Structure 1
Amino acid sequence: MHRQLQENLGLATDLLLHAQIGSVSQDDRYTILRTAQAPEYFSGNMLVLAGPPAEDDRQRLEDDFARLIGGPPAMVHRSFAWPETGGTLGDFDSYVRHGYEAMICSVLVAERNAVRSVEINDAVEVRLFESERDWDDWLRMSLADMPDPDSETSRRCVAFQRSAYRGLIERHWGNWWGAFIDGEMVGSLGLFFFGRIGVFQSIVTREDQRNKRVCRTLLTEVVKRAAGARDRLVVVADETYHAIRLYEALGFERQARIGSLCQVAAQR
């Protein structure tokens, strides 16, 4: 693994997690993520670069993606990520003009015992997933959070994620937690462990329950019950998304950044 990736806890733990559900390999330029059984899983079929791409890298990147990951009809996307240092979304306007979506995420880290208490929603019950219904509710909520929830591509992607996460849980890598009000799921998250590091995955709040302290209640309770003995906790969040302020209020601090580009050629 390149040194830049090792120092970025968001990318480093993503690669460790993906190695359990797909494959991770390297050549002289890229870290290569493949999930052959789920070509529609965009973040699992990706090239990770050592640093941000230049404007004139686009054709080479696209050619390398086709060679190393695949192309149509099996692959309907191209996806790239890298440890970002000081860039902005405007640096990738030339890619956006060619149909790419650019994103920069913050990697937030809380050191052991640094998570602070915040005001919670007392109506929220937090518990582990315990039934098939929990996972069915998770699937519906996660699908609703996708950019195109009605597409077959989105359905297959979320179905694969459910299967992959359940497999990780069965192998004791972590657990999935839900937030419930009157027995109905209103939020959920995964928490997986790599040694002394805990990594949050797919933190979702049901749309009609946002801004009601559901997410902060869920995070607070999960940290208290399952993550308190870990040296560090990691969460990755889109820099344009309001949830970053919540994570910082809980005691998470920005440790690094991840840049990404994704182009979807067509929906099937």
Structure 2
Amino acid sequence: MKAQSRGYRTDLMLARLQGALVGDRGDHLVIRTPGNPMFHWGNYVLADRSWLDRPLADLVATFHAEHPRSQHVAIGVDGVDGRVWGAGEVAACGLEVDRNVVMTATRVRAPERPNPDAVCRMLAADAGADWEAAVTLHALDHHDFDAGEFRDVVQRRMNARREQQVAGLGGWFGAFVGGEMVSGLGLFTDGLGLGRFQDVETLASARRLGLASTLVHHASIVGLRDFEIRDLVMVADPDDTAIRIYRSMGFADSELQIQLARPMPTA
């Protein structure tokens, strides 16, 4: 199976760069990240569109067969139009649907309201304090997950990203105000012209100050100039106010990405 959607093609690109193993089963791909087994979207199944004409329960059973030790369920559907099973069928399987917009750009405009106080830069690969700050920022919003386990997942992912940066395949960027990292994101590439943003995050107390858009613009310029990226890919929540800002900067909607998930039970 060859992924058709740009969103999932770049997801797979990042997964492989971060140590994931991808197995091809013909009508679905099996993604495993041995170095980070608790990372749900590093251990999932990506199904082709033919599964949409079959019972969703069959695909859930396939996930369990491929990931027998996983307590979570994480399934992607390779498509561009957002088609998914009916709400009743999804609910009967105990899953939730996450819809995101895949956006692309070949050049970017400066944000309308840049933050003049932010110092934006790529983290220094040999600066442990930079990377510890990035882990802390991205582990704050752990949702319903155990805080310690979630931080461990973030730490493992950040270690892999640091290795990617050392290999010259992109980098992790931070916006600093008063020396504190208040916004962060990654931009990585496989060296073939495609670049994908990862995990745009801003400290809750520093949101709506133009920090993320300022950092996205800075990272885009660096990626296009220094990493030979020709096409920038961003996956964004359609209900997040940030998507309007990304559009104003030159990112255009190109696809709808579907993910189905059941979080692992919490104590």
State the TM-score, normalizing by the size of structure 2: 0.89
Q: For residue 160 of structure 1, what is the aligned residue in structure 2?
A: 156
Structure 2 contact 36–157 (Cα < 8 Å) conserved: no
Q: Which of residues 137, 140, 144 is equivalent to 1:141?
A: 137
Equivalent-residue separation in structure 2 for 1:66 and 1:23 (angstroms): 17
SS in structure 2 opposite 1:40? coil
| 1:13 corresponds to 2:15 | no
Q: Which of residues 28, 43, 46 is equivalent to 1:48?
A: 46
Structure 2 residue identity aligned to 1:221: H
Q: For residue 66 of structure 1, what is the aligned residue in structure 2?
A: 64
Equivalent-residue separation in structure 2 for 1:169 and 1:45 (angstroms): 23
Structure 2 residue identity aligned to 1:156: D
1:126-159, Cα deviation, whole Å (9 max, x unpaired): 0121221111111111111231354443222212
Structure 1 contact 55–95 (Cα < 8 Å) conserved: no
Q: Which of residues 118, 126, 129 is equivalent to 2:120?
A: 126
1:52-83, Cα deviation, whole Å (9 max, x unpaired): 85496233122211221223xxx120110013
Percent of residue pairs identical: 25
Structure 1 contact 103–261 (Cα < 8 Å) conserved: yes
Q: For residue 216 of structure 1, what is the aligned residue in structure 2?
A: 213
Decide which moves more: 167-176 or 249-258.
167-176
- 5+ unaligned residues in a row in structure 2: which ranges? none
1:77-103, Cα deviation, whole Å (9 max, x unpaired): 011001344447883343235432210
Q: For residue 20 of structure 2, what is the aligned residue in structure 1?
A: 22
SS in structure 2 opposite 1:67? helix
Equivalent-residue separation in structure 2 for 1:153 and 1:97 (angstroms): 28
- CA RMSD in angstroms comes to 2.2
Q: For residue 39 of structure 1, what is the aligned residue in structure 2?
A: 37
After superposition, residues 188-203 of structure 1 pair within 5 angstroms as 188-194=184-190, 195-203=192-200
Structure 2 residue identity aligned to 1:266: P
Pairwise CA distance, 1:257? 1.6
Equivalent-residue separation in structure 1 for 2:55 and 2:141 (angstroms): 32
Structure 2 contact 27–50 (Cα < 8 Å) conserved: no
Q: For residue 81 of structure 1, what is the aligned residue in structure 2?
A: 76
Structure 2 residue identity aligned to 1:226: G
SS in structure 1 opposite 2:183? strand
1:186-234, Cα deviation, whole Å (9 max, x unpaired): 1011111221122111111111111000011111122223324532111
SS in structure 2 opposite 1:62? helix
Q: For residue 246 of structure 2, what is the aligned residue in structure 1?
A: 247
Equivalent-residue separation in structure 2 for 1:70 and 1:39 (angstroms): 12
1:246-268, Cα deviation, whole Å (9 max, x unpaired): 11111000111210111123136
Q: Which of residues 94, 102, 114 is equivalent to 1:107?
A: 102
